[in-house]
Amino acid sequence: MDIGCPNCDATVSASVPPGPGIGGDDSNRLQGKNARCRSCGHELEVYYY
């Protein structure tokens, strides 16, 4: 997925693992992953289910 860096407006590519998404199972809790902007080095946190 592509997201915008809030520091320099560059496009940051972040990958998240495939999965079922939001469901009734408690094992699908909100998780996070770090990504770093290649343009300015700003660290971003990407959260997903």
Looking at the structure of the chain, the number of domains it has is 1
End-to-end CA distance of the chain: 14
Tens of pLDDT, residue by residue, the chain (49 residues): 899 999 999 999 888 777 666 665 656 677 888 889 999 999 998 887 7
What is the CA 7 to chain-centroid distance, rounded? 16
What pLDDT sits at residue 42? 94
Can you give the residue range of the structural domain that contains 7?
Answer: 2-48
Q: Which amino acid is at 21?
A: G
Q: Is 13 left (phi over 0), alpha (psi -120 to 50) or beta?
A: beta
